[in-house]
């Protein structure tokens, strides 16, 4: 039977993808400003801390966006889940501060980046859970509006701020996450859930402990998935310097933008998985194969347009001209990472949590091992690109083999 995407899937995926693209555009503007107006070590300090903050706050979200979107609340009320969210986000800010202070010698630039990235990430993590409410009520347009406000805030602040120094540019990160949250999202959450207080902290210790215990393996799996693209950044700083961190992180951000944009399709598929039985694997696997083809077309189209327009020097400056080979490696690795994420969502739908956790443990071991060994033999930025490519290729292969084996066992038992 021929399987096609239905219109609702395409509409939801389109809105979420556009929303993610807008989010990346606002963050991308900050990275462009870092490259154009600041010295490479100052930019590197900001990007290095950002590569630490992002996995940490993803871990502390405990996969809550997916769970609320699919109405998998573990027997808890939304009031309790929002309280848990607020506690974890506040704890994340404190933990990030402690981690950041242990990573490098504090300087005024470093301390300001640490504070504003932490505050911005708290607001962003709160917004992510708001988006789950919007998606659960079929209001993907609200996610789009919030991300549009974020871009407009970033652009307006850039035009109005009198300075292009590091204080102004770093402040944009916190400001563009704060305005949409308080000017739009809180109001709409209260419209959908009138009895919900978005910033309340009122819960029993047993609820928090039970939620964390029940979802710890998923949180660790999400941490590893978010951490692995950033692991090379940590080793770049150790093997090379903060200037090299700026080059590598800026290129990696461009590729991650493509992934984040396409993840809207992944979120839309999760809702479709939730509407089908785990036994209806033929439909779901057909959906996955078509999603992989759509993503391949997206990466190819982006790559062709980007190289034709000499995108690296256009976005940043002529210093980036020698780094196209590295960008090629990251682009291929990014596509493999996207496919791996789709396959991961499928395994989660089939309740294969232990399998997902083992796959993620292998993934982090591979990326850490390759980043520790290969650059010692060839200390170049391209080497770190190969580390990501090898890791993502192995991860895709392992996911595919496990899904194939599970399908085979399922057929043999029926």
Residues 255 and 217 in one domain: no
Residues 88 and 162 in one domain: yes
Is a pLDDT exceeding 50 seen at residue 3? no
**Where among 160, 194, 227 does a domain terminate?**
227
282: confidence class by pLDDT, cuts 50, 70, 90: low
Is residue 198 packed enough to be buried (19+ CB in 10 Å), middle (13-18) or exposed (0-12)? buried
Residues 143 and 14 in one domain: yes
**Where among 196, 227, 258 does a domain terminate?**
227
**Where among 227, 255, 283 does a domain terminate?**
227
Q: Which residue has the higher pLDDT, 21 or 97?
A: 97
193: confidence class by pLDDT, cuts 50, 70, 90: confident
Is a pLDDT exceeding 60 seen at residue 72? yes
Greatest mean pLDDT range, 113-127, 205-219, 222-236: 113-127
1: confidence class by pLDDT, cuts 50, 70, 90: very low
pLDDT at 2: 45
**Range(s) of the domain holding residue 200:** 1-227
Rounded to an integer, what distance in angstroms lies between the CA atom of residue 284 and that of residue 67?
19
Residues 276 and 392 in one domain: yes
Q: What is the pTM of this model?
A: 0.81
pLDDT at 279: 45
For the chain, the first-to-last Cα distance in angstroms comes to 20
pLDDT at 5: 47
pLDDT at 263: 59
Is a pLDDT exceeding 80 seen at residue 326? yes
Q: Which residue has the higher pLDDT, 178 or 5?
A: 178
Lowest mean pLDDT among 91-100, 141-150, 252-261: 252-261
Rounded to an integer, what distance in angstroms lies between the CA atom of residue 298 and that of residue 331?
11
Lowest mean pLDDT among 16-25, 71-80, 344-353, 381-390: 344-353
Residues 200 and 277 in one domain: no
Is a pLDDT exceeding 70 seen at residue 352? no
Residues 201 and 97 in one domain: yes
- Percent share of the chain, pLDDT over 70: 88
Is residue 46 packed enough to be buried (19+ CB in 10 Å), middle (13-18) or exposed (0-12)? buried
The three-state secondary structure class of 18 is helix
Is a pLDDT exceeding 80 seen at residue 126? yes
What is the tally of structural domains in the chain?
2
What are the pLDDT digits (tens) for 375-414?
888 889 999 999 999 999 999 998 888 887 777 776 666 5
Residues 51 and 80 in one domain: yes
Residues 38 and 19 in one domain: yes
Angle between helices 324-349 and 381-413 (to 10 degrees): 20
Residues 242 and 307 in one domain: yes
Q: Which positions ≥6 away from 280 have C-beta within 8 Å?
A: none
Encode burial over 253-281: b for 16+ CB neighbours within 10 A, e otherwise: bbbbbbbbbbbbbbbbbbbbbeeeeeeeb
The beta strands (E) that lie in 153-309 are given as none
SS (H, E, C) 230-264: CHHHHHHHHHCCHHHHHHHHHHHHHHHHHHHHHHH
Residues 182 and 104 in one domain: yes
Residues 113 and 215 in one domain: yes
pLDDT at 292: 78
69: confidence class by pLDDT, cuts 50, 70, 90: confident
Residues 249 and 194 in one domain: no
CA atoms within 13 A on the CB side of 16: 26
Encode burial over 293-310: b for 16+ CB neighbours within 10 A, e otherwise: eebeebbeebbeebeeee
């Amino acid at each position: 039977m021929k399987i096609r995407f239905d219109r609702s899937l395409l509409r939801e995926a389109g809105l979420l993808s556009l929303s993610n693209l807008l989010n990346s555009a606002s963050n991308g503007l900050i990275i462009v400003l870092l490259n154009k107006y600041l010295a490479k070590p100052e930019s590197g300090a900001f990007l290095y801390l950002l590569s630490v903050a992002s996995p940490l706050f993803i871990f502390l979200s405990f996969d809550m966006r997916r769970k609320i979107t699919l109405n998998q609340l573990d027997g808890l009320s939304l009031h309790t889940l929002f309280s848990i969210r607020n506690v974890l986000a506040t704890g994340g800010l404190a933990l990030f501060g402690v981690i950041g202070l242990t990573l490098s010698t504090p300087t005024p630039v470093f301390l300001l980046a640490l504070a504003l990235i932490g505050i911005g990430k708290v607001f962003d993590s709160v917004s992510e859970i708001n988006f789950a409410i919007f998606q659960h009520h079929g209001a993907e347009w609200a996610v789009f509006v919030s991300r549009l406000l974020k871009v407009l805030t970033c652009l307006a602040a850039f035009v109005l701020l009198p300075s292009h120094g590091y204080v102004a540019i770093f402040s944009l990160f916190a400001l563009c996450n704060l305005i949409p949250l308080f000017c739009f999202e809180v109001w709409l959450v209260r419209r959908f859930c009138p009895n919900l207080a978005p910033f309340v902290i009122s819960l029993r210790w047993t609820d928090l402990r039970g939620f964390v215990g029940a979802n710890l393996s998923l949180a660790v799996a999400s941490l590893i998935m978010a951490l692995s693209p950033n692991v090379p950044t940590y080793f770049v700083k150790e093997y090379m310097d903060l200037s090299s961190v700026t080059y590598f992180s800026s290129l990696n951000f461009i590729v991650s933008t493509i992934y984040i944009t396409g993840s809207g399709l992944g979120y839309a598929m999760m809702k479709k998985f939730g509407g089908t039985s785990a036994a209806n694997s033929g439909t779901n696997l057909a959906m996955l194969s078509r999603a992989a083809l759509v993503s391949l077309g997206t990466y190819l189209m982006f790559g062709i347009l980007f190289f034709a327009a000499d995108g690296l020097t256009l976005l940043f400056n002529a210093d980036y001209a020698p780094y196209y080979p590295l960008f090629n490696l990251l682009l291929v690795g990014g596509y493999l990472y996207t496919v791996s994420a789709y396959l991961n969502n499928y395994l989660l739908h089939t309740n294969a949590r232990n399998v997902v956790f083992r796959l993620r443990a292998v993934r982090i071991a591979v990326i850490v091992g390759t980043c520790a060994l290969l650059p010692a033999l060839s200390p170049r930025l391209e080497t770190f690109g190969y580390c990501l490519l090898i890791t993502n290729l192995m991860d895709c292969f392992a996911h595919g083999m496990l899904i194939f084996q599970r399908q085979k066992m399922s057929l043999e038992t029926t």
